[in-house]
Amino acid sequence: MSGLASKESPGFVSQDPPAATGSPPAGHFLARYGAIARRLADRPALVLCGKVLLSHGELFDAARDLGFRLRREGATPEDVVALDMGRCPNFVIAMLGCWFAEAAFLPLDPNWPEQRRQTVLQDARPRLLLRTEGAPGELSSLAIRRASDPEPRNNTRHTPQVARAFSDDGLAYLIYTSGTTGRPKGVEVCHRGIVPMLEAQIEAFRMSAESRLLWLLSPAFDASVSDIGCSLLSGAALHIEPRARLTPGPGLPTWLATHGITHVDLPPALLPFLPTSRLPATLRTVVIGGEICAEEVIRAWSSRLRLVNVYGPTEATVCTGLTVCDASWNRALIGLPFPHNHYRVSREGGEPCSPGEMGELWIAGPQLARGYRNAPNLTERRFITHDGTRWYRTGDLVRELEGGNFEFLGRRDRQLKLRGRLIAPEEIESQLSKHPNVSRAAVIRSGQDADAVLIAFVVCKDGCDGDELTRFAEERLPHWMVPATFIQRESLPETASGKTDLTRLADMVHADRVEPAPRLDRNDEEKPDRCPAKLEATIDELWHHVLGKSGFAGSDDFFEMGGDSLAALRLSFAARSRGLALPASAIWTHPTMASQVAYLASASQRETSDHDYCEVTDLERDVRQILSTLPPPEPRFTGPNPAQNTRVLLTGATGFFGLPLLRRLLTHSSRHITVLVRGSDRDAARERICGLLGTDVAPAAARMQSRLTVIYGDLTRPKLGLSPMDWRTLGERIDTICHLGASLSGTAHYHALRETNVVGTAHAMELCRIGRPKHFFFGGSLIAVSGCRPSPETIDERTPLPKAGRIRGGYAASKWASERLVRLLDHPGRTTVVRLGLLTADPDTGVLTRSDNLAMFLKALHRLGCVPDPLPGLWTDVTPIGTAVRIATELLDRDCLEDCVHIVNRRPVSLADLAHAMRYQGVHLDSVSRNRFTQRLEDMAGRARDQHETQGFDLCLDLCQPDTRHPSAYRLFGSTGVRFSEAATCGALGHPGPLCPKVDRAYLANFLDSLGILRGNRLGTSTRHHETDAQRQRTREERHA
């Protein structure tokens, strides 16, 4: 930071910059931030990759210094300075630096195609261009360039105002959005509205100097002004992280927890892909906006934390109003306007609508932009004066509700939102029409929420190539505006008035697509070619297959190109079908095409399947490192521990195994159970648990109110995120810990699971060092041993964790590491490692789940309707979860003295048995060649409806793999070639065994029936299963009672 930031305390008021023409008015951002920077000079302002880069005092000084430099370089009030950089700390300095120079900034997205970039630069005519040189973290690397064609000094802009120094009316920024005329339009925003908007947001977001906000959005998106501004004006820390490290799957919550993020502004499309159950307790407020999000998603999120839906067009300074979402969310509310703004719902002629009547939303107030750059006519049309008030006509159709809230109903024009971006289809159509072979084009949106894509219908003169059109569009449009699919038609349907009939086009999308994604040809026996050129072509083809477009550049980011977590799974799947090991976790960490090519190329240096392995020695080192970070144990006696197992802490109580275990502990014992649940507060946590227990059990739980204590915390945080006092009180209250909390993922890398599964285990176990000695039951997994290579042929309770070799899959590695940690961490009490086999849905007890591997696999086979011939010799463990829960409870009842026990079905089931059982029950399964099976699988996988289906098809991929020694990361067939023992468990329970039921034809028939596979060739629905769950559980409980 040398050269830009000084350690001196900021002194905006006391040390006027020599070249300054005055001080900013009190309402100016710099005046407000100057006060903050003075008051909180040493508090972190910018945090990059977890390291504090600049304090508020340093940031203020750095920006002021840059302002001097910009002035020296010729920047004057009203000049535009282009910021040619992505989301990085320098952007924040540069943005403030421009304001110090009384200039306006113009964000240039580095991912824009050159043609759009040139169009924007020609329109904006910036005087200077700021560019980051070197690594993003190096603050000294800001370079100032003169723009190639600066605007003449005495220009004649359309804007009449001549701004005085640090005026509220001075131009603050210029942002380009999609334009209906075919050209992006530049919105000129003044300073006046920025601070009132930010202050209203800070209050609504409940931000303070203690907050930590993660900035996720592109700086070319005006919501970034809000993220940056709210952070700085509240004295909070703005966290910046390279995109590759922010995995919108399960890894993001872990990252948020690790960094103690309290606030984040997320694209609504991302919400469905983030598991709410794993949101860290630190996360207080999530901000969404820009597009409609599914109601159930909103309800789920708002029950966990403060979810704020913001609304506002770029033309009215980012955000003009907001609403706090709650569990009753059932419509797209945009909230009330901020007190300084005014909304008016107007009819076509400008008359005000009655409450409840649909009309166009007009906005007035200090946040209105000056207008559009170099587009006075458009400005005149959209910014109107009516009854003496200046209004912005948003084009949004809304209606006012009782109580003053407003509901969003759609658009007057054809503009649409896609992944948070406002897009004018006309701009795309205009660009496509410039192709010499295209005579007409129409663009519509297809699909909902995260699955939405743009589809272009084109009428061509001599026939068109979709790839050519994609390339043509990419050269002119930002990536989010490039259609995913091109459909060629001889003519486009028209309405009576001769306009393109968009409704009929939308119907046609559902009927057929002219250019489906190309089929992936594959020869099973062929080894993939791993030379970089071939790999690049292959990756391009795979991306095309998954994203529906082609012609990617090496620097293209899979997620920027429209990929999401489901698409990442599909890509991983498609790669695997080509013999390339590109796990989804690697896609998150290697999002660009070039990095994926490099990843695969480097994998070629190792064995084919090496990519997904962790060295045991590395894990050992990591475990010891985690142990070294723990505080030393308090002096405790190590005498005998006549455990009572009466006050139990249960972690993972909302999980697949934890929930039925909690249910049984509550209904079949008199124990006091404390459950650790994530939630925004204690009430929310309790509500969540009671909701999960189900309506049929909740009364029972209510009867035993005094025996169920719900605390909210976070495994990944030291002391489980509890206050020191709560932590100690908990440690002194309980005598037993059942630690089942873990992230279960078949695709995540070890590092994505480490915080929850390994560090979380250490945190839970630390509790054993407080108060009386405790019995620590650790929910381990047999995969910790069987997943190792080489793997022993027989695994019994005495089989130690392998000390050498490699272990496949992040989940298996995390279970190895957590069991190892449990065995190394000493405490005065006793530890029992409970290694669980592959837990499966249990039709006998009614415990069912959609995410059970066996269920997903059988459903996938059912959808495929075929199996390869010959069937590979694969075996799976089937440990019904109801049985597992019963065994675990009995182990608790009997105060198990064993160090390690297994809960596993020692009689595995072969794939042939499964296929036979399905056929016997009337499920149609053709025997086909492996190639045909693979093709069918690829077809179906491309049409997977959700993540569970994708995982099911991925499990099926094991059937095409010639190498059965390396089954899928989900490990359905982990019993292949391994024999599991449950001798110690039988000994502890005084039972000869086997403890699990034999999985025979009748059992499988029941299982298939419970999945709905046997009923009318129809897949079971989760709704029906939940009902069955409750009914069966009640029957079962009554029988036991």
Rounded Cα gap, residues 96 and 88, in angstroms: 13
Q: Confirm if 392 and 368 have CB atoms less than 8 A apart.
A: yes
Q: Which is nearer to another protein, 645 or 961 (CB)?
A: 645
- Distance, in Å, from the CA atom of 739 to the CA atom of 282, rounded to the nearest integer, reads 21
Please, which residue, 37 or 730, has the CB nearer to another protein? 730
**Distance of closest approach, residue 774 Cβ to another protein, in angstroms:** 10
Q: How far is the CB of 707 from another protein (least distance, A)?
A: 10
Shortest Å, Cβ 890 to another protein: 22
| Min CB(691)–another protein separation in Å | 26
DSSP-assigned states of every residue in 778-830: EEEETHHHHTEES--SEE-TTPPPPSSSEEESHHHHHHHHHHHHHHH---SSE
The CB-of-871 to another protein minimum distance in angstroms stands at: 55
Q: Which two tokens stand for residue 514?
A: 């002219």
Q: Which residue's structure tokens are 């907001």?
A: 322
How near is the Cβ of 727 to another protein at its closest, in Å? 8
**With b meaning 16 or more CB within 10 Å and e meaning fewer, what string describes 176-191?**
bbbbbebbbbbbbbbb
Q: Give residue 705's Cα distance to chain centre.
A: 36
Query: Cβ closer to another protein: 764 or 847?
Result: 764
- DSSP label at residue 635: P
Q: Where are the alpha helices (DSSP H) in 182-222?
A: 194-205
Q: Report the C-alpha gap between 233 and 615 in whole angstroms.
A: 47
Q: How far is the CB of 710 from another protein (least distance, A)?
A: 15
Length of the chain measured in residues: 1041
Closer by beta carbon to another protein, 290 or else 773: 773
**What is the smallest separation between the CB atom of 768 and another protein, expressed in angstroms?**
13
Phi, psi at 287, each rounded to 5°: -105, 130
**Residue 319 to residue 224: CA distance in whole angstroms:** 11
Q: How far is the CB of 633 from another protein (least distance, A)?
A: 9
Nearer to another protein, 127 or 671 (CB): 671
Cβ atoms < 10 Å from Cβ of 384:
15
C-beta of 684: minimal distance to another protein in Å? 22
Compute the least distance from the CB of residue 37 to another protein, in Å: 33
Tell the smallest beta-carbon distance from residue 763 to another protein (Å): 15
Least distance in Å: CB of 676 to another protein? 18
Cα(26)–Cα(793) distance, integer angstroms? 75
Nearer to another protein, 705 or 1023 (CB): 705
Between the alpha carbon of residue 835 and those of residues 182, 382, 786, 901, the distances in Å are 62, 66, 11, 6
Compute CA distances 189 → 161, 222, 288, whole Å.
Answer: 13, 10, 22
Nearer to another protein, 437 or 729 (CB): 729
Cis previous bond, 870, omega within 30: yes
Looking at the Cβ atoms of 418 and 643, the one nearer to another protein is 643
Peptide bond into 790 cis (omega under 30): yes
- H helix or E strand, kind and range, residue 59: helix 56-72
- Please identify, using beta-carbon distances, which residue of 304 and 772 lies nearer to another protein: 772
Cβ nearer to another protein, comparing 306 with 772: 772
The angle subtended at Cα 353 by Cα 351 and Cα 357, nearest 5°, is 150
Rg (CA), the chain: 30
Q: Smaller CB distance to another protein: residue 427 or 735?
A: 735
Q: Are 955 and 968 in contact (CB under 8 A)?
A: yes
CA distances from 368 to 120, 319, 460 (A): 22, 10, 42
Give the C-alpha distances (Å, rounded to integers) separating 798 from 406, 743, 785, 983.
65, 26, 11, 10
What gap in Å lies between CA 535 and CA 588, rounded to an integer? 18
Q: Which of 124, 162, 105 is nearest to 373 (CA)?
A: 124
Q: Min. distance of Cβ 764 from another protein in angstroms?
A: 17
Shortest distance, position 631 Cβ to another protein, whole Å: 9
Residue placing its CB nearer to another protein in the complex, 189 or 767: 767
CB of 725 to another protein, least distance (A): 6
Q: Which is nearer to another protein, 436 or 635 (CB)?
A: 635
- Please say which residue, 488 or 729, places its beta carbon nearer to another protein: 729
Q: For residues 174 and 190, what is the distance between their CA atoms, to the nearest angstrom?
A: 9
The conformational region for residue 102 under phi > 0 = left, psi -120 to 50 = alpha, else beta, is left
- Residue numbers of the site for another protein (CB under 8 A)? 634-637, 639, 641-644, 646-647, 672, 706, 724-725, 728-729, 732-735, 770-773
Q: How far apart, in whole angstroms, are the C-alpha atoms of residue 710 and residue 649?
A: 10
DSSP H or E run through 776: strand 775-781
Pairing type for strands 285-289 and 306-311 reads: parallel
Residue among 542 and 643 whose Cβ is closer to another protein: 643
Q: Is 924 exposed, middle or buried (0-12, 13-18, 19+ CB in 10 A)?
A: exposed
Q: Pick the closer one to another protein by CB: 728 or 823.
A: 728
Q: How far is the CB of 775 from another protein (least distance, A)?
A: 12
CA 565 – CA 442 distance, rounded (Å) = 29
Q: Give whichever of 498 and 724 is closer to another protein, judged by the CB atom.
A: 724
Kindly report the backbone phi and psi dihedral angles of residue 761, in degrees, each rounded to the nearest multiple of 5, phi listed first. Answer: -65, -40
Rounded to the nearest whole angstrom, what is the least distance from the CB of residue 825 to another protein in the complex?
17
Comparing CB distances to another protein, the nearer of 577 and 674 is 674
